[in-house]
Structure 1
Amino acid sequence: MMRPADEKDDFAIELDTIAASSLPSTKMCSFEIPHNRYFPSVSYSWIHWRILKGLLKSIRVVIFSAKINILLPFGPLSILLHFVTRNHVLVFFFSLLGITPLAERLGYATEQLAAYTGHTVGGLLNATFGNATEMIIAIYALKHGMIRVVQQSLLGSILSNMLLVLGCAFFAGGIVHTEKDQSFNKAAAVVNSGLLLMAVMGLMFPAVLHFTRSEVHYGESELSLSRFSSCVMLVAYASYLVFQLKSHRNVYHRIEDEGQSEEFDEEEPPELSKWEAISWLAFLTLWISILSEYLVDAIEGASDALNLPIAFISVILLPIVGNAAEHASAIMFAMKDKLDITLGVAIGSSTQISMFVIPFTVVVGWLMGQHMDLNFQLFETATLFITVLVVAFMLQEGTANYFKGLMLILCYFIVAASFYVHTDPTQSKFYI
């Protein structure tokens, strides 16, 4: 049956209307495509914001949380003065001031990383980075052939820790706690004193061979003995780490008489993530390396300008860089009556330098072709031997007071005055 023409037109119009009604849904689909593409950009922006937020928090914690970081601008300023004025005195002292907060922050980053690695690896990290400033300065001095500067700066770090740092800590703790003698773990102190005496023995025999002229091959036997003894001392220090951190940990964790829990096991949660701590360790080590090169370059010029012996600069002034932070922490722990931690900072650092850093520099000098040995000359070796004996007698009772601290400080003044009037008899050993 045929439809009229007007009905056919109405039917066509109705079909067009139905088709047109589906267009909005098609348009919505077309609008949803770019909307779905928008989510990845939002997620990427969120990730970038989280990274930026973490970076700003890390910078705030590391850079702006420590008051000592007010000295940080002296580092770039020393580099600027090196190229603009060539004033060795200003470059030397500004480099010292610039490295001081970096050394403290390097120790902080090491502690943060050690919280993730456990006690054994943490002990190795502390051994490596705890005295990283002294090691970096020593390597740059070795690079310039300044062997006596290396020997005397490391010797100065030991003397500074054992006499000045420990003396200031005992004195401050004794003033705060005048009503009693403070006590500490005597067994741990005896072990460290034994290691220090072993280090003295390692340094003494090359010097005795040299000054008695009893070597089989003059000059060569002294160097060979130093390298062999350095390897033995490194093995001894590795054994000490195992003894301290694994087999005899109870010796280094004193239980309080009141029956309280061990204070040393109270660990605060780390403020930095593991990778943030690693990144800061790399950055701080690099920055200290840069400043150390300018510091070493300025030593000789500063010595001539100030009319100071290089021995005095190396033994007294350079160790201030690495020990400034240890000074503050050791004194604060002593004032809180935590002398075990104080001894871990002062005597433990001396043990690290004598049994790890000094042998390490001998091995590095061996690889670099430098004749770095353990012959610290007669004056320096005798000074170290007497210092170890004095400190060992101070620690044998297991108690401390302000008078013992005062005696240690006065002993350091005598040592400083001795090196102020001491002239190195082997000037040829500065450069080889």
Structure 2
Amino acid sequence: MVGVGVQSQLEMGTLEGKDDEVCEFEDEALFSPEQQGAVQKTYSPRVPPLQVVVKRIGLTDLKNVVSESVKIVVFSTKLNLLMPFGPLAILVHYLTRHNGWVFLLSLLGITPLAERLGYATEQLAFFTGATVGGLLNATFGNATELIISIYALKSGMLRVVQQSLLGSILSNMLLVLGCAFFSGGLVHRNKQQVFNKAAAVVSSGLLLMAVMGLLFPAVLHYTRTEVHFGKSELALSRFSSCVMLIAYASYLFFQLKSQHSDYLPLNEETIHNQENNGEEDEAPEITKWESIIWLFILTAWISILSEYLVDTIEGASVAWNIPLSFISVIVLPIVGNAAEHASAIMFAIKDKLDISLGVAIGSSTQISMFGIPFCVVVGWMMGREMDLNFQLFETATLFITVLVVAFMLQEGTSNYFKGLMLILCYLIVAASFFVHVDPSADDDVVGTP
């Protein structure tokens, strides 16, 4: 029995050994060396099949993100109905070259882009904080006016540059702020809306400084008290522009670095009201990088349409029999301030009047203390004699407007009647420029030394 068991174990071991040899033989017989290398290469761990799947999933996610971003930014507003007018303006320009229609279509095409530019800036402000967000709102809110001004400056239309920037200040201070006060006052008729008076005083001081910078060159010119006629006025304008830029940079540093709560965009009462009303903080609808990409896309498209707008503005003035000063001071700023209009009214209705004030007055401050001096410096680099002499009529209009708004803000309160007064003041300004004849209209294209 023992012998039989030993023999069976030996036979089993032999069979197992043979099976291993057979398996090894079969493995070697089934795959040649070239095929084995191919199999090893196919199943190499360096390029796993899972990576291909992940890449496909990543491309699908990217398409979904892009489509969702386009849906939110482009199709979430009713103004998107005006977006096709931009390409249509370019088409009409090359087919008919009718300046009036090209100008009108370009104007309509820029309107939704300016509003969406403000939307993208607001989305980016969620990631930057309140103070930086307010500065971004003011900067990109004025991007349309600055782009139009640079194209006009390049074309030598210095008066269009001056009047469009002046019109932007007047529109923000009277129309935008007036609409915000009026709409907020109607919605909150049972309470008195308040805002941070300290921040308003600082902005009013900067606006008065801008008026001073514009007033002296005009007075120097019309009193004929220049040392060198024509040259002293230009030199004073360039020097004052550099000083105004330094003052605005100091203002930005003060806003960003100051620890005083008096100058924060939201006061304690507003935050307390939000907590009592149980309002939840608004969440961004798009990511930070999506906001940045949309800012570049919208700015580029506005730049393209602005070139057609500036090239046809004089032809549109002749075709429609409307003064060029009225188009520059009234029509262009209303389109460029579309973002400020929407933002200021929306925040006023939500009883966030500090933000509305920051959008309207902050935008006026930035145009007066940065936009106008910046164009003077850029014109200096281009060889254009852009100065701060805005003529007596425009300078007087700005001076009176700043005084009216400063008196409206001195109490730190708002109601719908104050808003109505500001809107009616803007109507008077618009009517004045409709009957105003620009004495420098003949020299509009002359700016090359």
- Common topology (TM > 0.5): yes
Partner residue in 2 for 1:391 = 405
- CA distance in structure 2 between the partners assigned to 1:65 and 1:122 by the alignment: 22
CA contact (8 A) 1:165 1:330 kept: yes
CA contact (8 A) 1:230 1:362 kept: yes
CA contact (8 A) 1:123 1:245 kept: no
Q: CA deviation at 1:169?
A: 1.6
Partner residue in 2 for 1:334 = 348
Partner residue in 2 for 1:293 = 307
Partner residue in 1 for 2:269 = 256
Match of 1:105 among 104, 116, 127: 116
CA contact (8 A) 1:123 1:241 kept: no
Q: Deviations over 1:33-85 (max 9, x none)?
A: 53555344323323322322222222222212222222111110111111111
Partner residue in 1 for 2:174 = 163
Q: Deviations over 1:201-236 (max 9, x none)?
A: 010000000100111111111111111111111111
| Pair 316,238 (structure 1): closer, same or farther in 2 beyond 3 Å | same
- CA distance in structure 2 between the partners assigned to 1:54 and 1:35 by the alignment: 33
Q: Per the alignment, in what secondary structure is the counterpart of residue 213 of structure 1?
A: coil
Any gaps of 5 or more consecutive residues in structure 2?
Answer: 1-14
Q: Deviations over 1:301-342 (max 9, x none)?
A: 110011000000000100011112221221222222221111
Match of 2:376, as an amino acid? V
Q: Deviations over 1:1-47 (max 9, x none)?
A: xxxxxxxxxx9x99995555436985997657535553443233233
Partner residue in 2 for 1:182 = 193
Root mean square deviation of aligned Cα? 2.7
Q: Deviations over 1:266-294 (max 9, x none)?
A: 86443333332222222111111100000
Q: CA deviation at 1:98?
A: 0.7
Partner residue in 2 for 1:364 = 378
Q: CA deviation at 1:425?
A: 0.7
| Pair 261,334 (structure 1): closer, same or farther in 2 beyond 3 Å | closer
CA contact (8 A) 2:134 2:359 kept: no
Q: Deviations over 1:79-131 (max 9, x none)?
A: 11111111211111111111111112222222333444456655554453231
- CA distance in structure 1 between the partners assigned to 2:86 and 2:260 by the alignment: 40
2:162 maps to 1:154: no
2:221 maps to 1:210: yes
- CA distance in structure 2 between the partners assigned to 1:417 and 1:260 by the alignment: 40
CA contact (8 A) 1:119 1:245 kept: no
Match of 2:415, as an amino acid? N
Equivalences for 1:62-81 in 2 at 5 Å? 62-81=73-92
Partner residue in 2 for 1:34 = 42
CA contact (8 A) 2:125 2:133 kept: yes
| Pair 18,258 (structure 1): closer, same or farther in 2 beyond 3 Å | closer
Match of 1:94, as an amino acid? L
- CA distance in structure 1 between the partners assigned to 2:19 and 2:305 by the alignment: 86
Partner residue in 2 for 1:422 = 436
CA contact (8 A) 2:185 2:416 kept: yes
CA contact (8 A) 1:300 1:310 kept: yes
| Pair 95,202 (structure 1): closer, same or farther in 2 beyond 3 Å | same
- CA distance in structure 2 between the partners assigned to 1:14 and 1:245 by the alignment: 81
- CA distance in structure 1 between the partners assigned to 2:140 and 2:242 by the alignment: 20
Any gaps of 5 or more consecutive residues in structure 1?
Answer: 1-10
Q: CA deviation at 1:180?
A: 3.1
Once the two structures are overlaid, the 10-residue window that deviates more, 303-312 or 52-61, is: 52-61
Partner residue in 2 for 1:83 = 94
Once the two structures are overlaid, the 10-residue window that deviates more, 287-296 or 56-65, is: 56-65
| Pair 14,381 (structure 1): closer, same or farther in 2 beyond 3 Å | closer
Q: Per the alignment, in what secondary structure is the counterpart of residue 290 of structure 1?
A: helix
Q: CA deviation at 1:248?
A: 4.5
- CA distance in structure 1 between the partners assigned to 2:204 and 2:352 by the alignment: 19
- CA distance in structure 2 between the partners assigned to 1:184 and 1:15 by the alignment: 90
CA contact (8 A) 2:195 2:353 kept: yes
Match of 2:370, as an amino acid? F
Partner residue in 2 for 1:280 = 294
Partner residue in 2 for 1:303 = 317
Q: How does the TM-score come out when normalised to structure 2?
A: 0.86
CA contact (8 A) 2:214 2:390 kept: yes
Partner residue in 1 for 2:58 = 47
| Pair 111,157 (structure 1): closer, same or farther in 2 beyond 3 Å | same
Q: How does the TM-score come out when normalised to structure 1?
A: 0.90
- CA distance in structure 2 between the partners assigned to 1:33 and 1:278 by the alignment: 43
2:31 maps to 1:22: no
2:224 maps to 1:219: no
Partner residue in 2 for 1:93 = 104
| Pair 262,379 (structure 1): closer, same or farther in 2 beyond 3 Å | farther
Identity rate, percent: 68
Q: CA deviation at 1:184?
A: 1.3
- CA distance in structure 2 between the partners assigned to 1:385 and 1:80 by the alignment: 42
2:168 maps to 1:139: no
